[in-house]
Amino acid sequence: MAKPLVAIVGRPNVGKSTFFNKMIGRRAAIVEDTPGVTRDRIYEDVEWRGFTFTLIDTGGIDPNTTDVLLSQMRRQAEIAIDTCDLILFMVDARSGLTADDQDVADMLRRAGKPVLLIANKADTAALDKEAVDFYELGLGDPIPVSSTNQLGLGDLLDAILSALPGAPLEADEEDARPIRVAVVGKPNAGKSSLVNKLLGQERVMVSDIPGTTRDAIDTEITANGQRYLLIDTAGIRRKRAIEDGTLERYSVLRAIAAIRRCDVALLMIDAADGVTEQDAKIAGLTLDEGRALVVAVNKWDLVEKETRTLETFEKTVREQLKFAPYARVLFISAKTGQRTGKVFETVREAYDQSNKRVTTGSLNDLLADAQIAFQPPASGGRRLKIYYATQPSVAPPMFLFFVNDESLVHFTYARYLENRLRKAFGFDGTPIKLIFRNRKQT
């Protein structure tokens, strides 16, 4: 079978040849800061995960040039586009979106070929975030990379394979990585007891002494056909209760790190104590990190029950964690096993919601209805206009709104849009992020 052809295209000096050289592992294309150095198509094979495709480097496309040489370079690039199976449209994250990028994007849309949008030179976190400006091109999610520093190239190669015909499919379900669950909470809330109950064995040391679990402990388990990685952590106490340099201080840092690397945080709350200030701070950490959240009220077997006790307690929990109204709440007993069977099911639901994608068409239909139902705010004689929206990423779901003036976005209207999104699409158990950007006039 013939190797698929992948063409790198873009305006001059966005880093195509540097990227090409990194991909093939040697300096085949001449790399200079002068636009127009790469004059012809260059072909080389690239292998990734046992699959080989042919990468084509092309000269920069200057849509409006009258220069003979640059016109020939454009023609060479057009030939590559016509013959390839996939186009890598490269833009410059440092320079931002330009009118020439818009023109090249229009040309690629007319070609009717699949396109991956590559935001090159995203060498820093700030530039990585700025890549969202390229959503305006309407060619899908920009993939931030740095060819020079070799950042993001593995993810890009995976995306290339996913887009090519005949490339190996993603790993089978049993080979996919497990859902990472960080079991967090203040000391002695029952975290290790729950982990042991879920595992059915004494895998984690359990004691009534706060701070028994010193490190984050990873344990894998399969439940209902899904793999989970349980990360049991040391209890997180108030900072002023931890002496600098103590072992417990480092345990807290590891617990915070566990939240950062998890998919879902399972926050254990002691029913006898209710929601404490520290519980709220831990929940706030999960929000800051954009992690899905399940709240497990433990030791429910010790609470005296009356009519509507559970409903009343849940209302109190939600009032104390009102900044995270999306959180799923369970009432369990790690000691007796009461409702612990619901833990994995609830975690999986929160994980799925955190990774949910909404089609651009459905999103913009909702946006149109939302603006009719509640007119956007106005200030100083100018009214906010929301042109369109897209969902650039998941975990947590992020929604990018292109507007006439982001300073006109009032927090109440942003909250209104979030509520409309949740009502229409769910997102139970996960935070969602709304970003408003001025649509650039080019």
Give the model confidence (pLDDT) of 28-53 as tens digits: 444 444 444 343 447 788 888 778 88
Tell me if domain 5-163 and domain 175-354 are identical in fold: yes
pLDDT at residue 115 in the model: 93
Token pair 């295209």 is found at 9
Backbone region of residue 166 per phi and psi (left: phi > 0; alpha: psi in -120 to 50; beta: other values): left
Is residue 129 scored above 80 in pLDDT?
no
Alpha carbon distance 331, 317 (integer Å):
11
Domain boundary assignment for the chain? 5-163, 175-354, 360-438
| pLDDT over 70 percentage in the chain | 79
What is the per-residue DSSP string for 362-399? HHHHHHHHHHHHSPPPEETTEE--EEEEEEEETTTTEE
- For domain 175-354, say whether CATH 3.90.1330.10 is its number: no
Alpha carbon distance 300, 8 (integer Å):
59
pLDDT at residue 247 in the model: 40
**Arithmetic mean of pLDDT, 57-62:** 74
pLDDT at residue 205 in the model: 43
Confidence of residue 440 (pLDDT cuts 50, 70, 90): low
pLDDT at residue 288 in the model: 87
Is residue 249 scored above 80 in pLDDT?
no
Q: What burial class does residue 153 get, using C-beta atoms within 10 Å of its C-beta: 0-12 exposed, 13-18 middle, 19+ buried?
A: middle
| Tens-digit pLDDT profile for residues 342-385 | 999 999 999 999 999 998 889 999 999 999 999 999 988 899 99
Confidence of residue 61 (pLDDT cuts 50, 70, 90): confident
Least reliable range by pLDDT among 141-145, 218-222, 317-321, 399-403? 218-222
Mean pLDDT of the chain: 81
What is the per-residue DSSP string for 162-179? HHSTTPPPPPPGGGSPPE
Cβ-based neighbours of 394, under 8 Å, separated by 6 or more: 354, 355, 356, 357
Least Cα distance to 283 among 333, 317, 321, 235 occurs for 321
Is residue 22 scored above 90 in pLDDT?
no
**Arithmetic mean of pLDDT, 415-427:** 95
Alpha carbon distance 274, 26 (integer Å):
61
Confidence of residue 211 (pLDDT cuts 50, 70, 90): very low
Which CATH number does 360-438 carry? Answer: 3.30.300.20
Least reliable range by pLDDT among 69-73, 109-113, 211-215, 374-378? 211-215
Decide which of 442 and 101 is more confident.
101
pLDDT at residue 127 in the model: 63
* CA-based torsion, 399, 367, 406, 288: positive or negative: negative
Half-sphere exposure of 179 (CA within 13 A, CB side): 28
> What are the start-end ranges of the H helices in 38-165?
68-83, 99-111, 125-130, 153-163
Least Cα distance to 395 among 433, 426, 355 occurs for 355
DSSP-assigned beta bridge partners for residue 383: 378
Confidence of residue 263 (pLDDT cuts 50, 70, 90): very high
Alpha carbon distance 253, 442 (integer Å):
46
| Tens-digit pLDDT profile for residues 302-315 | 888 777 888 889 99
pLDDT at residue 31 in the model: 44
Confidence of residue 255 (pLDDT cuts 50, 70, 90): low
Least reliable range by pLDDT among 185-199, 230-244, 264-278, 331-345? 230-244
Least reliable range by pLDDT among 50-64, 92-106, 259-273, 281-295? 50-64
SS3 357: coil
The structural architecture, per CATH, of the domain 5-163 is 3-Layer(aba) Sandwich (3.40)
pLDDT at residue 95 in the model: 87
pLDDT at residue 180 in the model: 92
Is residue 134 scored above 50 in pLDDT?
yes
Confidence of residue 2 (pLDDT cuts 50, 70, 90): low
pLDDT at residue 88 in the model: 94
Alpha carbon distance 332, 339 (integer Å):
5
Alpha carbon distance 28, 18 (integer Å):
9
Confidence of residue 146 (pLDDT cuts 50, 70, 90): confident
What pTM was estimated for this model as a whole?
0.65
| pLDDT over 90 percentage in the chain | 32
pLDDT at residue 218 in the model: 74
Is residue 202 scored above 80 in pLDDT?
no
